[in-house]
């Protein structure tokens, strides 16, 4: 009998791709999502890719009564918790909204899990918990100095779950710190479609390539990096999705708490991404080098060696494939799930 995995935020970018990886690995995902930043039409695409109808419950992780009912009615074996808000700028403008969604949301979820006796939790954390690192690659032992309410909310949840694990060592918890997730499923049927003007590099480049935006503004060309532009550790969303399945298999081995970076260990500059995308799409990407963006770190990338040794996971897809898959999704769905 296939294990039921509750995927909060499963209609979103990373959660939807993880549902594909879960089905491929023989699990049965059940999605809980309030559709605050996603489109219900993703479900039909997931059915096309997986050949399975994935159960969807529309609702909020902060709704304790809903969670109690959900756990009563489903024999959930483990929870993957993606539901959260992720825009750094919005978190500065409305911190209480971020702490409520991200911290209180996880508190309500963990309490409902405890009441239901579900003790396996995979949590979406972020490399943003490191703040500006002393050096790269960043190991998990590096100090955490988040710089935004969003980053603090992720770190607070990590601390809360670590404290829970001390009190209840029979829990199995993985805190996964993602670097920069990009790309799309290779079918081109699911991908990332930010509402409004994209904040992040890859969706912006995609929209320039498809003609929705005129030019990319490169935020800074005078950083102390090889070409002067910012360097990040971009990781393919299907690699991340497979990392979650690896974390679930690891959790099945024994109770414990692990904190693991999910990245490639390779840095790429803004101009590296532009060049790889031009090659993937055959489209020129017009850009202007502008001023630095407030709050940006010049360069960082992760040390993924702990993920290799503990989870037996390694990112397999390179920058070129990230761009090819992003482009396939973008060109066939210029307006997202509404096409």
SS (H, E, C) the chain: CCCEEEEECCCCHHHHHHHHHHHHCCCEEEEEECCCCCCCCHHHHHHHHHCCCCEEEECCCCCHHHHHHHHHHCCEEEEEECCCCCCHHHHHHCHHHHHHHHHHHHHHHHHHHHHHCCCEEEEEEEHHHHCCCCCCCECCCCCCCCCCHHHHHHHHHHHHHHHHHHHCCCCEEEEEEECEEECCCCCCCCCCCCCCCCCCHHHHHHHHHCCCCCCEEEECCCCCCCCCCCEECEEEHHHHHHHHHHHHHHHHHCCEEEEEEECCCCCEEHHHHHHHHHHHHCCCCCEEEECCCCCCCCECCECCHHHHHHHCCCCCCCHHHHHHHHHHHHHHCCCHHHC
Choose, by CB under 6 A, the member of 47, 93, 96, 217 that binds ligand UFG. Answer: 217
Choose, by CB under 6 A, the member of 45, 165, 232, 250 that binds ligand UFG. Answer: 232
Choose, by CB under 6 A, the member of 91, 106, 180, 261 that binds ligand UFG. Answer: 180
| 150 tagged catalytic | yes
| CB nearer to ligand NAD: pick between 161 and 221 | 161
Choose, by CB under 6 A, the member of 24, 88, 210, 212 that binds ligand UFG. Answer: 88
**Considering only 90-98, 162-170, 193-201, 301-309, which stretch makes contact with ligand UFG by CB under 6 A?**
193-201
Number of shown-chain residues binding ligand UFG (CB under 6 A): 21
Q: Shortest distance, CB of residue 100 to ligand NAD, whole angstroms?
A: 8
Site for ligand UFG in 249-288 (CB under 6 A): 270
| CB nearer to ligand UFG: pick between 58 and 132 | 132
**Considering only 101-109, 132-140, 162-170, 212-220, which stretch makes contact with ligand UFG by CB under 6 A?**
212-220
Q: Shortest distance, CB of residue 218 to ligand UFG, whole angstroms?
A: 4
Q: 27, 98, 99, 150: which one is catalytic?
A: 150
Q: Which residues bind ligand UFG (CB under 6 A)?
A: 86, 88, 126-128, 178-180, 199-201, 204, 216-219, 230, 232, 270, 293, 296
Q: Which residues are catalytic?
A: 150
């Amino acid at each position: 009998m296939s294990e039921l995995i509750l995927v909060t935020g499963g209609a979103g970018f990373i959660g939807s791709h993880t549902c594909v990886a879960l089905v491929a690995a023989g699990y049965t995902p059940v999605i809980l999502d309030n559709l605050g930043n996603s489109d219900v039409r993703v479900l039909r695409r997931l059915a096309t890719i997986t050949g399975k109808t994935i159960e969807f419950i529309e609702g909020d992780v902060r709704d304790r009564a809903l969670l109690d009912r959900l756990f009563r009615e489903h024999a959930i074996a483990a929870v993957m918790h993606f539901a959260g808000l992720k825009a750094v700028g919005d978190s500065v403008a409305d911190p209480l909204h971020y702490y409520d969604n991200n911290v209180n949301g996880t508190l309500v979820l963990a309490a409902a899990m405890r009441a239901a006796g579900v003790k396996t939790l995979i949590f979406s954390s972020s490399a943003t918990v490191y703040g500006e690192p002393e050096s790269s690659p960043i190991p998990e032992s590096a100090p955490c100095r988040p710089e935004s309410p969003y980053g603090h909310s992720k770190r607070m949840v990590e601390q809360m779950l670590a404290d829970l694990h001390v009190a209840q060592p029979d829990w199995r918890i993985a805190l996964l710190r993602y670097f920069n997730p990009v790309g799309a499923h290779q079918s081109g049927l699911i991908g990332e479609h930010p509402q409004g003007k994209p904040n992040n590099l890859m969706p912006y480049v995609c929209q320039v390539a498809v003609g929705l935006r005129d030019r990319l503004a490169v935020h800074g060309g005078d950083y102390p990096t090889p070409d002067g532009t910012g360097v990040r550790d971009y990781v393919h969303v299907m690699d991340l999705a497979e990392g979650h399945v690896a974390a679930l298999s690891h959790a099945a081995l024994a109770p414990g708490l692990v904190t693991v970076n999910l990245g490639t260990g390779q840095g790429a500059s803004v101009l590296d991404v532009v060049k790889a995308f031009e090659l993937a799409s055959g489209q020129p990407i017009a850009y202007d080098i502008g001023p630095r963006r407030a709050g940006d770190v010049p360069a960082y990338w992760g040390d993924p060696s702990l993920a290799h040794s503990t989870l037996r996971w390694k990112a397999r897809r390179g920058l070129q494939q990230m761009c090819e898959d992003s482009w396939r999704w973008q060109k066939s769905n210029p307006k997202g799930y509404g096409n």
